Amino acid sequence: MSFRRFFRRREWDEERARELDEHIALEVELNLARGLSPQEARRQAYIRLGNPTAIREEIWKMNSLVSIEDLGRDIRYAIRQLLRSPGFAIIAIVTLALGIGVNTAIFSMVNGLVFSSMHIEQQNQVRLIAIRQKGQSWQPALSYAEFRQISDATKGVFSGLIADQFGLDGVTMKGSKPDRAFTDYVSGNYFPTLGVHPLLGRFFTPSEGLTPGADPYIVLSYAYWKNHFAADPNIVGRQISLDGRPMTIIGVAPENYRGLSSILEAQAYIPLAMIVPIENLPITDFNKQANRNTRVEGRLQPGITPQQADAALTLAARQIAAAHPAEERDLELHGFSLQAGRLTGGIDDDNSFNTVSAIFLGLASLVLLLACVNVANLLLVRATVREREMVIRSALGAQRFRLIRQMLTESLLLALLGGIGGVLLGRLASGLLASVNLESDLPIHFDFGFDWHVLAFSITIAVLAGVFVGSVPAIRLARANLNLILREGGRGIAGRSHKLRDALVTIQVATALLLLVVAGLFTRSLSQNEHVDLGFDPNHVLTMMIDPSEIGYNTTQSAQFFRGLMPRLRALPGVVAATSAQSIPMGLIDNGSDSVTIDGYTPPPGQPQPQINNNLIGSDYFRTLSIPILEGRAFNDADNDKAAYVAIVSKAMAEKYWPHQDPIGRRFTMGADPTHPMQIVGVAGDARYGNLAGTGQAAFFYVPYFQHSDLNTLQAIELRTAGDPAAMTQEVEQVIHGIAPALPIFEVKTLHQALYSPNGLLLYEVVAALAGVMGTLGLILAVVGVYGVLSYAVSQKTGEIGVRMALGAQRSDILRMVFIHGLWIVGIGLAVGLGASFGAARLLRSMITVSAVDPATFVAVPAILAVIALLACWIPARRATRTEPMEALRVQ
Amino acid sequence: MVRSNKEQEMLLGTLDMLVLQTLITGPAHGHTIAHVIEHTSDDVLQIEQGSLYPALHRLEDRGWVSSYWGPSENNRKARYYRLTALGRRQLHKQTHRWQTMVDAIGRVLAKAGKTAD
């Protein structure tokens, strides 16, 4: 049958009608020639031909897509079948909905973080430009000077190169307290290059953002405009002040543009060079060749491939390196897709996000597999019950192919209903995930919305699930000898061979084991991390952040402010110790990191000077955080800009750069302040600042804030209290506002809370919670499934058991028989699952803090599963042996 | 029970074979085909004329015959069917198979006849 005829079958039918008419006419003539009357001739002709309409109908059918017409019938029949056994239908649909829901939720998360649209024009034409110097990883942070040089050198491949830097600034409207905003300082061509158009007013012109202080204009994000300016339609032209500087609002960004990062969404956009006056940045710093905190993206010229762009970038890197040999030695430049830097802010060089998402999608698909196996099993049991129906339908002329298709239709219908339920569940779950409280005042934003990616994904897995669960009983049916069943009085297809069912149990045990081991490893890592030695004492510490520049203070005024503030805080009753610091452990504000020149230390050939994390701290810092001073002394109020410049190094740094020597009295210089070599006055214990993985013994150094107060105005206030730290919040705020009434205070939290930040325990918490939820789901599905299958298998053997007992078998013999069979299939499942689990754990090594062969997990999980499986054998077996042999035989 | 596919195929195949055989002498329309089959079999094979047209349709679908409109004996338009090269090969194959089977059945029956005597 050709499709051409299917679509032309009306025309085709008319031709057949003419052909048949012609046949009748010829036959009539023949009959007339034989001397029949016209009437009789006609009658005879029709008798010989048969019913022309029936003939046409037959040909019509040959030209039809019979299957499409049958499909409607199959679906109607399937619906009737499901309505007839609503209990089965509901259990199957809910089971599948859970499996599909988990997958939908996880996928919508991955999609929302990485793959969803950024709402810019031709996203794949925009490249994120990263830099690398020999021996280091790719970083998407360039200096403004490099941005200008690359811009000039790559005009042939990029139609536009944009740059931006993030800031935190105080926004004041007339007559209100300042509010702190997360700002994005962008080059003038930022919005036009991305192809984003303003909702209100205008965006910047290409020349805006070139000259420091020249363009006091601000563009608001949609969310900020809506939440802080009540979506005022006449906002354009209004004056606000930013860090005490008057600015004019010129436009509002569209609702769907949320920036190029998945998590942090800028609240306002400001021309790039305005960062110099607003953030009190010395112009020399702004233009410094190696001051790398600018993100740069470029839009490819039409027809230019990413490879061509990379070639141009390589050439540009060589030119820049030649022009600035001191700062740019071995410079390399490379373009990455926007997705690569979307989540973490760095280039996902090790693809750790991909690994995490693959793991979670993998776990979710294991849950789905378990759900499918359970439903397949239900269908298998149901197929035994429905064998009579199948045999009768087949006797009435139904082809086996039709019966199999009918079963597949039923299971696909189940899966699609399960899919609808799954999408709803997934939506709910991803909504919950997106609303995880990060306890941060920063505009962190998760958008796990449902776009067509997610929907297509859910439909695909629902269809796959439907085909999988339907094919199990269909295979069974295809192999069965229906005649035999009819003759045997419906003993059943599923009653004889157990291979398929045994295979299902094996899959279930193996899958559940793998799922539970992975979930167990993550959960154990979390609980271990909660007890990890941090190197400081997070209890009884209150932290909050203030930045006097947000009310227009310059660096000198800010230092003055902190100098006045600290004694007042220390005087508060209940305060044991108080200090200030640039960053808090695991905080959202990064620790400083600087290249360091150490007297008497030369880096290995070809390597740059080491980059070492550091913190700008006030006096009494070590007492406040309970970090031990192992040697020398802590900082005190005398360590100010009039005294000798000093530093304290961590134990790890001391051991790395001055092994077997006394570091006290040694000198080093940091890149941020090259004119003041610092002398080491103390060695502090190692503390975990960045994250919880690894040994926690990274090199780190501390310098006094009052010797480098020009570097930073943003400081975290940290107070060790005698009682509940949170109860002190109001008093502390009063003290601060007593000095600077309008100063915004943010990120107020205890240090213990602060540890549950995205850099700290939060990630482990979310991961462990997700893994825990999936593990629990998997365990329930596996228990129900394994118990269901094994107990059904044993109950099917009731007849056999009756015979054996009638022939004199002991109960213990029967139990042994049942157990050995159960042990075999469960044992194989456990072995396969253990193998897979060891493999998976190896892949997870970098993400868990317990060992990849954590004995607790690898012993407990198989043990639990084995006990459940054996119970599943034992309970029905005991029941079977307790029945009277005669009764058991009658079951037949 | 379902008649097995092979069985169905053979019954349909017989009519197909007869139709193809008829067309070996040249193109013909449906009416002629029906009468030729009846006459050449000395009216032993009374084919149901109605089943002829679906058979022709099927043969055309498989590419064993092709069709065109041409003038009929009474100068009206009739649908003519012509054997294709593929159809000729198919006819050869089917005739051979049929002959083998008829011979086999013949031998079995001859033996059975002797035993009965």
Coil, helix or strand at residue A616: strand
The label of the residue with tokens 């192809």 reads A195
- First CA to last CA across chain B, in angstroms? 37
Q: Determine, for residues A49 and B50 on separate chains, whether the beta-carbon distance falls below 8 Å.
A: yes
Question: B29 and chain A: CB distance < 8 Å anywhere?
Answer: yes
The chain-wide mean pLDDT, for chain A, equals 84
What whole-number percentage of chain A has pLDDT above 70?
A: 88
A703 forms beta bridges with A616
The label of the residue with tokens 């800009």 reads A641
Contacts (Cβ under 8 Å, ≥6 apart) of B17: B91, B94, B95, B98
Contact A332, A320 (CB under 8 A): no
pLDDT in tens, A372-384: 988 888 888 787 7
Say yes or no to pLDDT of A66 above 80.
no
Of B42, B23, B37, give the one whose Cα is nearest residue B80.
B23
Of A114, A110, A113, give the one whose Cα is nearest residue A362.
A110
Tell me the pLDDT band of A450, cut-offs 50, 70 and 90: confident
Q: How close B33 comes to chain A (CA, Å)?
A: 11
Say yes or no to pLDDT of A554 above 90.
no
Token digits for A667? Answer: 């000198």
d(C-alpha B63, C-alpha B79), whole Å: 16
pLDDT at position A320: 93
pLDDT in tens, A836-850: 999 888 887 777 777
d(C-alpha A831, C-alpha A842), whole Å: 17
pLDDT at position B1: 32
Q: What angle do CA A795, A797, A799 make, to 5 degrees?
A: 105
Looking at residue A682, what DSSP letter applies? E
Helix axes A499-530, A811-844, angle to 10 degrees: 50
Listing DSSP states for A80-135 in one string gives: HHHHHSHHHHHHHHHHHHHHHHHHHHHHHHHIIIIIS--SSTTGGGEEEEEEE-TT
Judged on CB neighbours under 10 Å (0-12, 13-18, 19+), B16 is: buried
Token digits for A302? Answer: 């039409």
The label of the residue with tokens 């294709």 reads B84
Closest residue in B to A28 (Cα) is B31
What whole-number percentage of chain B has pLDDT above 70?
A: 80
Mean pLDDT in residue range A575-599: 81
d(C-alpha A129, C-alpha A313), whole Å: 9
Say yes or no to pLDDT of A477 above 80.
no
Contact A172, A314 (CB under 8 A): no
pLDDT in tens, A67-103: 566 778 888 888 888 888 888 889 889 999 999 999 9
d(C-alpha A229, C-alpha A235), whole Å: 8
Closest residue in B to A400 (Cα) is B2
The label of the residue with tokens 């053979």 reads B10
Look up the pTM and report it: 0.68
pLDDT at position B2: 35
d(C-alpha A84, C-alpha A95), whole Å: 19
The label of the residue with tokens 């290249």 reads A595
Alpha carbon distances (Å) from A67 to A71, A73, A386, A406, A454: 6, 10, 23, 11, 30
Q: Determine, for residues A19 and B72 on separate chains, whether the beta-carbon distance falls below 8 Å.
A: no
pLDDT at position A23: 87
pLDDT at position A487: 58
Mean pLDDT in residue range A384-408: 75
Question: B48 and chain A: CB distance < 8 Å anywhere?
Answer: yes
Of A478, A479, A475, A486, give the one whose Cα is nearest residue A395.
A486
Mutation choice for B interface testing from A16, A23, A56 by most B CBs within 10 A = A23
Mutation choice for B interface testing from A1, A11, A19 by most B CBs within 10 A = A19
Say yes or no to pLDDT of B17 above 60.
yes
pLDDT at position A222: 93
User: Other CB atoms closer than 10 Å to residue A891's CB: what's the count?
Assistant: 14
CA atoms in the 13 A half-sphere facing the CB of A440:
22
pLDDT in tens, A134-157: 767 788 889 999 999 999 999 999
Per-residue HEC secondary structure of A500-538 comes to: HHHHHHHHHHHHHHHHHHHHHHHHHHHHHHHCCCCCCCC
Say yes or no to pLDDT of A490 above 60.
no
pLDDT at position A347: 59
B49 contacts on A by Cβ (under 8 Å):
23, 27, 48-50
A174-178, A187-191, A658-662, B9-13: range with highest mean pLDDT: A187-191
Mean pLDDT in residue range A286-293: 86
Question: B8 and chain A: CB distance < 8 Å anywhere?
Answer: no
Of A776, A756, A775, give the one whose Cα is nearest residue A766.
A756
d(C-alpha B83, C-alpha B23), whole Å: 6
Q: How many helices (H) and strands (E) does chain B have?
A: 4, 3
Tell me the pLDDT band of A492, cut-offs 50, 70 and 90: very low
Size of chain B in residues? 117
Q: Determine, for residues B30 and A16 on separate chains, whether the beta-carbon distance falls below 8 Å.
A: no
Q: Determine, for residues A55 and B54 on separate chains, whether the beta-carbon distance falls below 8 Å.
A: yes
Token digits for A642? Answer: 């009039």
pLDDT in tens, A117-135: 888 999 889 999 999 877 6
Contact A852, A522 (CB under 8 A): no
d(C-alpha A65, C-alpha A507), whole Å: 38
What whole-number percentage of chain A has pLDDT above 90?
A: 32
The ipTM assigned to this model is 0.82
Of A588, A587, A548, A541, give the one whose Cα is nearest residue A565.
A548
CA atoms in the 13 A half-sphere facing the CB of A166:
17
- Closest by Cβ to A62, choosing from B57, B72, B77: B57
**What Rg, from alpha-carbon coordinates, does chain A have?**
37
pLDDT at position A203: 94
d(C-alpha B8, C-alpha B1), whole Å: 13
pLDDT in tens, A764-792: 777 778 888 888 888 888 888 877 777 77
pLDDT in tens, A187-231: 999 999 999 999 999 999 999 989 998 899 999 999 999 988 889
d(C-alpha A578, C-alpha A566), whole Å: 7
A713 compared with A586, residue with greater pLDDT? A713
Mean pLDDT in residue range B58-65: 87
d(C-alpha A747, C-alpha A731), whole Å: 16
Alpha carbon distances (Å) from A811 to A818, A867, A870: 11, 21, 17
Contact B105, B98 (CB under 8 A): no
d(C-alpha A215, C-alpha A202), whole Å: 14
Judged on CB neighbours under 10 Å (0-12, 13-18, 19+), A259 is: buried
Q: How close B93 comes to chain A (CA, Å)?
A: 23
Mean pLDDT in residue range A690-695: 60
Closest residue in B to A398 (Cα) is B2
Which own/partner contact pairs does A287-290 have at CB distance under 8 Å and 24+ positions apart?
A287/A144, A287/A145, A288/A143, A288/A145, A289/A143, A289/A145, A289/A146, A289/A324, A289/A327, A289/A328, A290/A143, A290/A327, A290/A328, A290/A671
